[in-house]
Every structure is written in C-alpha cells, then in structure tokens.
Amino acid sequence: MQTLLVGSNNAHKVQEMKEILETQGLARILVPNDVANFPSDIAETGSTLEENAYIKAMAIYENTLHTCLADDTGLEVDALQGAPGVLTARYAGEHASYTENRAKMLAALKDVPEAQRTARFRTVICYRDELRTLFAEGVCEGMIAQEERGSAGFGYDSIFIPQGYSQTFAELSTEEKHRISHRGLALRHFEEILRGLE
C-alpha cells in the first residue's frame, strides 16, 4: 500500500479522502503538516477543474518530491448556466464562508421552480508521481433544495439533493454519502486506474 500526500489544507476535504482511501486499503494518507516544503499558498488560476487540480498537484510534487493527489471540485447549476463551477469555493467572494456561499445560491434560485433546479457536483483528481500524471473524475447529479436541511457534511451539502434521493448530502450517513458522492466516485475511478498500473 503506497503513501500519498493529499494536497489540501481543507480539513473537511482531507478527512473525506482519508476515510475513502484508507478504508479501501488503497493508500496511507499524509497531510500538508506531515511533510516539509509544502507550498503554503497555491493560486488556483485555471479556468477548469482539470487545470486547477493539475496546477496544485504539480506545485506540491515539485516542492515536496512526494507522490501526491490534488483535486478540484465544482458545483454546476443549470439555472445559473453552470455557475459557480471553478468558483464554487469563492462563489460569494474570495474569502466567503460556507454559509455565505449557500445563502447566495439560495437567493439566486429563489424564484426557480423545482424542476429547473438541476445541478451536479464534479470532482477532478490529479495524481502525480516521479513517472506520471494521471486524472480521474467523478460526477454526482442532483438538484438544489429550496432550503438548507441536515447538519452533516460541509460546503453545499445541506442544499444538494443527489439524484434518486429525497435527502440532502447533509442528511445522509457518512458511509452513504461516500458511496454516491462526486469525490467518492472520483476516488474509486482513481483506484481503478492505479490498480491497472500494478
């Protein structure tokens, strides 16, 4: 089982990756504080999730020389022409809180009927080691709720209802969310790719 450096300072995202990868027996996880020379601030200047994931993975590998995994995730809302997309974490401003982002989205969709509130979460993972750069992707279709529901999860979880469910991500158990979520699907896709290289 290899050791992977997860390239994120987002504690919630790191925890999800640890829960998914370590419980699958795919990898032991290191976090930024575990290694020297981890870049303190990586500017996400890409115009796509793929570009941002690549920028982060390359910066981390070049600074630490450690096999690493970086990701970028976007929420694409059809009624908002695919926004916020790459700006998902900064939807309500550069340093916006999760609460502010959710409030802005609910306000933007205030008059949008349920049938038109379709959306999807998309995660792109970029893996980098001394030999290769690999990508994996996971998509979870769903819709934006009329109001916040549930207390688990983070980010937009309390307003995102995955397809086939009546509950938001924030109302599901951790195990169920990981099974169907964009990040869970991306990591399982990544697992398939890695196993194919063995």
To which residue do tokens 């991306």 refer?
Answer: 186
pLDDT (0 to 100) of residue 12: 80
Catalytic residue check, 72: yes
pLDDT (0 to 100) of residue 100: 97
CA gap 77, 100 in Å, rounded: 17
Helices in the chain by DSSP H: which ranges?
11-23, 49-64, 98-108, 174-180, 182-197
Classify 102 as helix, strand or coil: helix
Among the options 72, 111, 129, 157, which is catalytic? 72
**Closest C-alpha to 22, from 35, 38, 4:** 4
To which residue do tokens 């990981």 refer?
Answer: 178
Residue ranges of domains in the chain, CATH in brackets: 2-197 (3.90.950.10)
Mean pLDDT value across residues 145-153: 95
pLDDT of residue 188 exceeding 80, the answer is: yes
Choice among 22-26, 121-125, 142-146 with the minimum mean pLDDT: 22-26
Is pTM beyond 0.85? Reply is: yes
pLDDT, one tens digit per residue, over 91-134 is: 999 889 999 999 999 999 999 999 999 999 999 999 999 999 99
pLDDT of residue 79 exceeding 80, the answer is: yes
Mean pLDDT value across residues 24-43: 82
Residue 127 parent element (H or E)? strand 118-128
